[in-house]
Every structure is written in structure tokens, then in C-alpha cells.
Structure 1
């Protein structure tokens, strides 16, 4: 009987092969080669599906199999098609659920949604022929929108048309970035990452998340990279490319704000910041970013302008897909990521494009890549001008909020005129890795700018825009440091002027072609410096 059964099996096997039909499973007695993973992710507060960043790995290596639910948008440096579904760290975005067939084995699943949510890591065992259904809830450790503060990334380089809006919004929602500013980028020759519309016409919004258009243009190696946010149109003067002030003036005319990217640290941005900042052309400065250093907070050029009595609003942006906190060259968790730094704006009422712009124009901001800040001087928010009479008590309160596992606070400082006026750390009584608080009462003897900054782990920091205290109608500049900052300003201008005398062979360096116009602007700035010196006498 056994031999007859084997003969029948062979005959049937040949028969099914000849007629092209699938073999009956009971005859083959094969085991399934894979199992199935089905995942749903909801927000613990709303119980609704929520966009999320997913990374699936096995034995430390990312699984190179993408679920159909992964949301793809073309991106890349210089507007090239370097990526689509996968992010630089091999993660991807889904709108809240996905399924995937996987070979049997042990897998690691990471779920994340920006710094306000607790990241989750799970180990999964996939069995052949079995469906594993997993439902996860993402929990917040802090809810900044409930406090009126909404996050923004001012530096995202992705081309956009109306067709991509809903997909891109899923990306920003997955990182919990409430305002994503898509930057058209330019250089001397052309522009990249086109945007289809500007101002209110370029806004795409669902609930309290929105996308808007901005620009990083002009960009030169001699003067730095300029930012434009919130204008009703793009601004570019191709034949006068090195005259940044014309761009900043036009941006303001169009209802926008202008300033400098990359903390004015790279591409000689400190020269442009000096040239335009001292003449009152600069509104914002990117204070937090991972392009120049693995330490994201660089304040020296910011404090330079502040101590000269020039108000500048602190903003921050990822410069995606260019910059990670090791310049996108290290392990996956340190690669370029949308929203890896951000700034928060206080919005009075519901979040709209115009209410956000109003909060930004008022300077009600702080920058962060983890620690959350609350800061007031006599009840006034960051960015406020506070006129007082001499001797008035300045009541300063600062709070930093963190999470022991994800954002372990280390210290909180109140800074005035660049000096630490008060500091607490986790070793002080009543302080912890999750909450640091500091209160100071000081007399208003002279004008001063006051700000708060906080630090978490070695790559986590936060800093507010200052409150500008004006005593008896006088400015908030720092008489003690202004002379040295004016001397430094003169040094930067001399550095630029020297460059203008040398015709460069490298075609990227074109400042020498604009020598006459730039020298006029340098002369104007030197006159401003002379006026400031007279005021200090």
C-alpha cells in the first residue's frame, strides 16, 4: 500500500505540472515560509489612529521590505531623487497602521512621534503561518499645544505641488511638527525645491497641522544663507544676488520675516549677519541646528547682536534632508531627520497660518530638540519689550520640562546680557530630570535682555527668545560688552572687504563682482558702528 501511495503521488504531481495548476497543499504538506505582522498605532489621548515614524530591524539591520502603507514623497539633496519611502535612517512614515509579511524570526520595532511623545521599542517574534496583530498607543509626556505653544520646522527642503500636500502633512504629523516650512532653495545660478504657491495660497492645513512655503535664498559662501518666512511671494534678485538687504526689505513688504540660517556660523554667515543686522534688516536667526556641529545650540553670533541692542527672534529647523546631528554620516539614530530640531511659537487661540505668523512676528518663541521651556519676566513672554522705570523689580520665572528616559534634564539657566544670572541643576534640592524651576528678582538698573536656556543629554538643548527690558526709555544693549562687539563687527567687515579685492577663480565665489554695491553697504554699516560708539560715551 505504501508503494502504491507513493506511485499515485508521483503521477498526480506530474499531472498537475502538465496542466499548470497549483499543487494541492495536503499532498505537498509544505509549511508557510512567512508570517504576517499587522500593526495599529493610536494616540493615547484621542484613541484615534495617528501618523507615526516606524523602524523595523532584525539583528541590528533595518528590514529592507516596505509595507504598502508606507507614505512616500521624493526627496534628496540638491533636489535629486535620493530617497522616497525610506528616511535616511531606514525608518518610514505610516498614517497609523500597516501590515507586512516577514520570514520567521525575532524583530525589533521602533515607534516615534517627535519629542513630546514617548518613543516605544518592542521585540516581536514572527512565526510561520501565523498572523500577529499588535495595537500600540503612543503617549505624550507633555502637551505643548494645550499650553498654546506649537512646534515648527522652518527648514525643510522638499519640492511641493498640491498632489503631495496630504502626503507631506502625514510626514510632519508623524514627527508632530505643527508648522512645516517648505523652503525653496537658491544659489547664484538657479533655484531648487520649487513651491507651487506662497502666503495664504500656499498653505495646506488639516486640524492643527499645516504646511507653508518659504525660501533659503540668497545663499553664498561669502555672506551666508538667508531665510525668508511668511511672505506672500518668493523674492529673488538674480542680477543683484549679493545684496541681501534688498531681499529682506522686500520680504517685509510682502508680510514676511527675513534672517540667517545655520546660526550664522557656516558659510561666513556672521559677515552677512553683521552687515544686515546692524542696519536693522534681520528679523530671525536659526539658533538650533545640527549642520555646523553635533552641539546644536550655538549662541555667540546671536549674543553679538543682542548685546548691541538689536532684537532678533530665535527660530530653528532641521535643514532636511541635509543635516543630522552628525551631518547624516553616522548610525541610523543620528541621521538627517525632519523635525530633529524645532521652534515653538505661542499662539493666541486656535492655530492658523495668520495666528502663527502673528506669534512669530511678536517673537514669542523658543527653540528646542527636547527640553521644553516656560519663561516670563513680569508676566511677559519671550520676544516682548518691557518698558520699566529704574529700580523696578524684575520678577523672572523659568521652568524646564523633560522626561527621565527620553529628555533627561541636566540644567536650567537664566541669562542676562550673555551672563548666567541664575542656574539650577538636577543635583539641587527640589529639582529633577523631569522638572527644573528657577525664580529671580532683580532690580532694573539698566536695559537688559533676559532669556532662559536648558540642557538635557549632551545633544539636547533649548533657548528662548529674550524679553527686552527697556529702562527709562533707553535701549537694552550691554554697555560692558558693546565696545568689543563693535570691534568684532569692524573685523568682520574688514574680512569681507578684503575678499572683495580678490577676483576668485572658483565660480562659487562671486562677491568680487558686486564690489561697488557691497562696499557701499559696508560703509553704511561702519557709520552705524560710529553712531553706536557715540552713544556709549
Structure 2
């Protein structure tokens, strides 16, 4: 009798469990979505955003690729991105209430984004297959994209999902930065150098650091070294970190266009003493207009070679991270740079090419820039009176990357500007050519391009020298050296201010920083004597 009762009770329980499940299935529908690369025909990672009547859908498929991320290394996000999108590795199935949903599929700047209206019918499962098409293929042209400013903690367990994330944004190199401040570090990386590289084909992850970071001198960058460097007791002496990173095979630089957190002071202090390799000139942390070049041109006009780089600063910065709509939130790859390689792609060849300056930064437009067939980062030495043939081309997409204008610039001055309204030009291709005849002085020459209000691109310069001379701008040397002196005076005022706030500690390092200021003043004096126009 007891066994019969148990069987009856079990059947009743099963019935009551199955009924709601069947009822739910009848009230919802499912859709299977497969995404392939249009050329290879293979499944490809993508970014997906689903909305209903303009509002984000809060349901996730089981196939979502998830990694914990957040500000200050907190677990603020996991499967959803800040704009309510998510990543999948090529296919997913999702169950939703009936309705007409908008599915947006994207894959970085070089692929054409797709928007599809899909109807979910109750009790039914449908299937959709989509192919992601490129409007341009930069790897086929030997240019590899990178986001060198990503903050996500990483153990070996996160390697594969994080690689899927950068594949979904079509970024060839993702640089994961350990971040620090005076007190501690965040976003740890399990290894640096060769041991910290995770690669599949033309995509790789590597480690770096954004440390030191101070409100008085700015945020320092370093990547490619065999180990991270940090001097807690000498935290404000950035040059010690830079020197050690260089010894360990790394590159160094400043973040946020050297604008945020008074980074121009640090760039002056370390850049004029030859400690800096790269400057992040395109990013959405400072402004919705991502290209900021004031401090870049400052250093170039003084004759200092700097590679232009860019990075998203994920998860901190979006197109308008303070006031913008969700679709303008922080996103990996929204600011990136391209590096030209004339040899097989790997970490070493990529880093060597970055060091050589063979780069351009972009939030959409693509640039091809040459001077007498030299490319960005090259040093072109010519004889006095020779002619320079300059070509600059920009490529875009009429709806996704609509080009507005391209400019050839030398010493910060526009030599030629072409817009989409000029004869023979369009929103998907702009071309400017120029001959500089009888060149009398050295100069740095670059190209820059503008798309919509949030899209821009800029090359590292080509450095033109005459009979082995310099490329500095003798017209602006005095004013830029005076500006450098002003920045040093600002720093000295900080050193005289004892602040109670624990975030401001420059005063504590007064003696060591004053020594470095004095060294920089000596450099300024030498530059003034050697470069000023007489």
C-alpha cells in the first residue's frame, strides 16, 4: 500500500511540474541563430543586442560568452555588456515571449553591422542563418588592429572567453592592463611577457600595466615587458618604472591623450628626457570627440618621435560615458589602432612595429598615407630642394563609417583638405595628393580623417629630414618650450602644497620630483639653444 501511495504522489508531483512547464512553452517561442563569416563560411564570434519596442531584452541564451568585469575591479558586469548586448561564439538559441524583436549583430569596425526584425511565435521554434560581411579587410593589407587599454582581471581560465570577446570585436591584439594607484593594484594578470600571451591564429591577448596613476602627473602605460613594475615607496618617480620596463623589453607611454589627470606634466617630465615611446591620442574618456592631439603635436614639434596608439579603457569609457545613451556605453575596441607588419604576425613582430611607429589610430575610418612611398613611422631623409610626393587616402562605409574630410598636415598645419563634397570624392573614399617642391626644412607629416561626430583617424607621422637634420618645427619651438616650462611650474606648485587628501601625494616626493624637474629644465635649455629659430 505504501508503495502504491508513493507512486501516486510522484505522478501527481510530476503532473503539477509539467503543466506549468508546458503552459510556459505554449506562451513563449524560441529562435536559433547561426552566424558565419561570409568569406570562410565558418561560425564566427559576434556581438548581439536584442530589443523589443526599443527597450533591451533582459534574457540571455545559454551560449553567451561571459567574463566578470567592472569599475575598480568590482563584479559590475558579467554576461551583458554595458549597452545590454552580449557576445556569442557563432550561434545561440533564445526563448522569448511572443513579439517582434530587433536583433543587432556586429563585429567591430571592419564588418557591416546587421539589424533584423524577428517575430517570436508562441510554441514555435524558428531558425535563422546570417553571414557577416566585411566592408574592408585590413589584415589582408598587413594591418593588424589593437585595443591597448582593456581592464579585466585574467587567469588562464578567462583566456578563451576573453579571446572570443576580442574576436567578436575583430581586434587582433587585446592588451589587458593591470591597473594601480598609490595604494594598491587592480585587474591582476596571471603572467607577463611570453607567458602572458594567449593566441589563436590572427588574434592574441597580452598583458601590460597602467601604473603609476596619479592625479598630479597622469596615467602611465606599459606593455610587452617580461614583468610588471611597481615601486611603492617611489611611486611618483615614473621614470624608474619606465627604465625598468625598457630593460625588460617593454614599451612605455601616457594614457588619455595626456589630458586627464594632468598627464601633460608627466609627458613633459618624462617625454623630454626620452623615456616615452607611445601616446594614446584617440579615446572616449576625455570627450565624445575622441581625437585629441594638442600634447602630441607639442612633442612632435620639439623633435620627439612618438607612436600614436589608442584604446577603449574598457569598462570605464564610452562615446559619452557620463551622459550618453546605452548604445554609447563602454565598449572594447571603440578606440583602436592599426599596425603594419611586413612579416608574420606574432607578439614580437607586432610590438617591434609599434615601436617603429608604423601605426594609425581609428574609431572607424581607415587611412593609407605615404610620402615618397614611406609609411607612418618611417624616417625619410632627402636632399635640400627635393620634391616630396604625398598621398593620403581614407576608406569608410556610407552608413557605418561615413567619411567627411581628410587632411594632410605638417607641423600641425593643414597643407591640404579634401571633403566628400569635392569632385571625385565620396563618403566611402577620400583621396588627397600633394607635391611639396623644393623642400627646405625637415618636418613631420601626417594624415588625419573625420567621419561622423564620434569618428576620426590619425597616423603616426612620417619624419622627413633634410641632409640628416631634424624634423622639429623651428617656428613653434620657443612657444612649446615656454609651455613646457609652464607645466613644470604647475608641478612645482603641487610640490609646495601639502594636501590632506590621501589621493594627492606629490608633495611627499618633493625632493625627488624637484630633481627631475631640474633635469628637464636642463633639457629645455639645450633644446632652446639647439632648435630655436635664430
Alignment TM-score, normalising by the size of structure 2:
0.96
- Contact kept, 8 Å, 1:328 with 1:336, in 2: the verdict is no
- 1:324-403 equivalences under 5 Å are 324-327=318-321, 329-403=323-397
Q: How far apart, in 2, do the equivalents of 1:17 and 1:531 lie?
A: 91
- Cα deviation for residue 19 of structure 1 reads 3.4
- Contact kept, 8 Å, 1:318 with 1:324, in 2: the verdict is yes
Give the equivalent residue in structure 1 for 2:461: 466
- Cα deviation for residue 471 of structure 1 reads 0.8
**CA deviation map 1:232-260 (0-9, x unaligned):** 11011111111111111111111111010
Give yes or no for the alignment of 1:487 onto 2:487. Answer: no
Q: How far apart, in 2, do the equivalents of 1:171 and 1:185 lie?
A: 20
Distance 1:328 1:49, change over 3 A: farther
Give the equivalent residue in structure 1 for 2:173: 179
Gaps of 5+ in 2: 1-7
**CA deviation map 1:106-145 (0-9, x unaligned):** 1010000001000000101111111110100010000000
Residue of 428, 434, 442 corresponding to 2:422: 428
- Cα deviation for residue 61 of structure 1 reads 1.1
When Rg is computed on C-alpha atoms for both structures, the one with the higher figure is 1
- Cα deviation for residue 16 of structure 1 reads 9.3
Q: How far apart, in 1, do the equivalents of 2:462 and 2:104 lie?
A: 40
Give yes or no for the alignment of 1:236 onto 2:227. Answer: no
Give the equivalent residue in structure 2 for 1:159: 153
- Contact kept, 8 Å, 1:157 with 1:321, in 2: the verdict is yes
- Contact kept, 8 Å, 1:329 with 1:335, in 2: the verdict is no
**CA deviation map 1:461-487 (0-9, x unaligned):** 000000001112211000111111011
- Cα deviation for residue 29 of structure 1 reads 10
- Contact kept, 8 Å, 1:149 with 1:346, in 2: the verdict is yes
- Cα deviation for residue 18 of structure 1 reads 7.5
Q: How far apart, in 1, do the equivalents of 2:24 and 2:62 lie?
A: 27
Give yes or no for the alignment of 1:521 onto 2:516. Answer: yes
- Contact kept, 8 Å, 1:37 with 1:133, in 2: the verdict is yes
Give the equivalent residue in structure 1 for 2:88: 94
Q: How far apart, in 1, do the equivalents of 2:23 and 2:70 lie?
A: 48
- Cα deviation for residue 441 of structure 1 reads 1.0
Give the equivalent residue in structure 2 for 1:451: 446
Q: How far apart, in 1, do the equivalents of 2:70 and 2:11 lie?
A: 50
Give the equivalent residue in structure 1 for 2:246: 252
Q: Which runs of 4+ in 1 moved over 3 A?
A: 15-21, 28-31
**CA deviation map 1:187-220 (0-9, x unaligned):** 0111111111111111000010000000000000
Distance 1:143 1:16, change over 3 A: same
Find the residue that maps to 2:241 and give its secondary structure.
Answer: helix
Q: How far apart, in 1, do the equivalents of 2:80 and 2:13 lie?
A: 38
Give yes or no for the alignment of 1:50 onto 2:44. Answer: yes
- 1:14-413 equivalences under 5 Å are 19-22=12-15, 32-327=26-321, 329-413=323-407
Distance 1:93 1:18, change over 3 A: closer
Q: How far apart, in 2, do the equivalents of 1:30 and 1:308 lie?
A: 69
CA root-mean-square deviation: 1.5
- Contact kept, 8 Å, 1:386 with 1:470, in 2: the verdict is yes
Give the equivalent residue in structure 2 for 1:4: none
Q: How far apart, in 1, do the equivalents of 2:101 and 2:42 lie?
A: 26
Give yes or no for the alignment of 1:440 onto 2:450. Answer: no
- Cα deviation for residue 22 of structure 1 reads 2.4
Distance 1:328 1:98, change over 3 A: farther
Q: How far apart, in 2, do the equivalents of 1:266 and 1:19 lie?
A: 66
- Cα deviation for residue 328 of structure 1 reads 5.4
Give yes or no for the alignment of 1:506 onto 2:501. Answer: yes
- Cα deviation for residue 350 of structure 1 reads 2.4
- Cα deviation for residue 17 of structure 1 reads 9.8
Give the equivalent residue in structure 1 for 2:5: none
Task: Report how many aligned residue pairs link the two structures.
Answer: 521
Find the residue that maps to 2:116 and give its secondary structure.
Answer: strand
- Contact kept, 8 Å, 1:322 with 1:328, in 2: the verdict is no
Find the residue that maps to 1:74 and give its secondary structure.
Answer: coil
**CA deviation map 1:311-331 (0-9, x unaligned):** 100000000000001115421
Find the residue that maps to 1:348 and give its secondary structure.
Answer: coil
**CA deviation map 1:157-196 (0-9, x unaligned):** 0011111100100000000011000000010111111111
- Cα deviation for residue 349 of structure 1 reads 2.6
Distance 1:84 1:389, change over 3 A: same
Q: How far apart, in 2, do the equivalents of 1:91 and 1:29 lie?
A: 29
Distance 1:234 1:17, change over 3 A: closer
Find the residue that maps to 1:398 and give its secondary structure.
Answer: strand
Alignment TM-score, normalising by the size of structure 1:
0.95
Q: How far apart, in 2, do the equivalents of 1:320 and 1:342 lie?
A: 12
Q: How far apart, in 2, do the equivalents of 1:422 and 1:18 lie?
A: 82
**CA deviation map 1:262-315 (0-9, x unaligned):** 000010000001111111111100000000111100000000000001110000
Q: How far apart, in 2, do the equivalents of 1:238 and 1:451 lie?
A: 39
Give the equivalent residue in structure 2 for 1:12: none
Find the residue that maps to 2:195 and give its secondary structure.
Answer: helix
**CA deviation map 1:390-417 (0-9, x unaligned):** 1111111110000001000000000100
Q: How far apart, in 2, do the equivalents of 1:410 and 1:139 lie?
A: 23
